Structure 1
Amino acid sequence: MTSVIEQSVQARMVASAPRMETLPATLSYDVKDPFAVRMAFPAPATLEGTEVSWEFSRELLTAGIDTPAGEGDVRIRPFGYERTVLEFHAAEGIAMVHVRTAELRRFLERAQELVPVGDEYRHLDLDRDLTDLLGGSC
């Protein structure tokens, strides 16, 4: 059984211009970090010319599909029936992308099959995490 799932999605960057640019992005979920999801944008899609990725909770993504969620660096909210807006807040500014809600739901279903919500704790390696936290002194 695989411990990581990845799914390519097409994101549309919201800009002041009327036309939104389509960006490739990859959503990933790793059993080793069962509470988090990751969204990565390849180097050509970023201002810096390097891959940029954001990690946020699976719970935030799940909630944000149906109702506005998030107060920090990542905020998610529905946009009409077919799209979801993900806002990424950084010192350089705010990036807003639209993603088809069906793609996000499909990704979350796959993550649910891998680690059901509520069973995340079963996949934590607390001994390893504590050793890492204490600098290998356990």
Structure 2
Amino acid sequence: MSTVIEQAVEARLIASDPRVQTVPATLTYDREDPFAVRMVFPAPATLEGVEVCWAFSRELLEAGVDTSAGMGDVRVRPYGFDRTVVEFHAPEGTAMVHIRTSELRRFLKRTQLMVPAGHEHHYLDLDGDLTALLRDAC
């Protein structure tokens, strides 16, 4: 059984000009990092021309499809009947994308089937992580 879920989504980039640009993005969930999800934007979709990956909590994404959530670099909130806004805040500026809420719910359902909420700690290798961390400490 695979330990990674990847799902392509269509993100609508909201800019200051009246045009709305559609950009591809990929949502990723890895059972070995059970608290996090990642949203990856390919190089052609970014201003810098390099792939950009944002990691944030699965719990934030789950909360944000129903109500405003987040106070830091990533914020999520419902928008209308069928969209969810994900805001990415960085020193260079803020990017906002609209994603179909149904796509996010489908992705989140798949992650819950792999690692149910509240059971994430069962998938962590704390001993292995601590050993790796201390290996170079001496």
Give the match for residue 134 of structure 2: 134
Aligned-residue offset at 1:128:
1.7
Aligned-residue offset at 1:135:
4.0
- 3-state DSSP of counterpart to 1:122: helix
Give the match for residue 24 of structure 2: 24
| Structure 1, unaligned runs of 5 or more | none
Q: Tell me, yes or no, if the aligned pair for 1:60 and 1:76 is still in contact at 8 Å.
A: yes
- For the pair 1:14 / 2:18, whether they are aligned, the reply is no
Q: Distance in 2 between matches of 1:92 and 1:66?
A: 28
Which amino acid in structure 1 is aligned with residue 25 of structure 2?
A
- 3-state DSSP of counterpart to 1:107: helix
**Structure 1: 4+ residue segments shifted above 3 A:** 135-138
Give the match for residue 115 of structure 2: 115
Give the match for residue 73 of structure 1: 73
Q: Deviations over 1:51-71 (max 9, x none)?
A: 000000000000000000000
Q: Distance in 1 between matches of 2:132 and 2:93?
A: 32
Aligned-residue offset at 1:94:
0.2
Q: Deviations over 1:82-126 (max 9, x none)?
A: 000000000100000000000000000000011011110000000
Which amino acid in structure 2 is aligned with residue 40 of structure 1?
V
CA RMSD in angstroms, aligned pairs only: 1.2
Q: Distance in 1 between matches of 2:52 and 2:125?
A: 27
- 3-state DSSP of counterpart to 1:66: coil
Q: Tell me, yes or no, if the aligned pair for 1:40 and 1:54 is still in contact at 8 Å.
A: yes
Give the match for residue 33 of structure 1: 33
Give the match for residue 101 of structure 1: 101
Percent identity for Structure 1 against Structure 2? 68
Give the match for residue 88 of structure 1: 88
Q: If the length of structure 2 is used for normalisation, what is the TM-score?
A: 0.96
Q: Distance in 2 between matches of 1:80 and 1:131?
A: 47
Give the match for residue 55 of structure 1: 55
Q: Distance in 1 between matches of 2:71 and 2:60?
A: 10
| Structure 2, unaligned runs of 5 or more | none
Q: Distance in 2 between matches of 1:110 and 1:19?
A: 33
Q: Distance in 2 between matches of 1:132 and 1:13?
A: 39
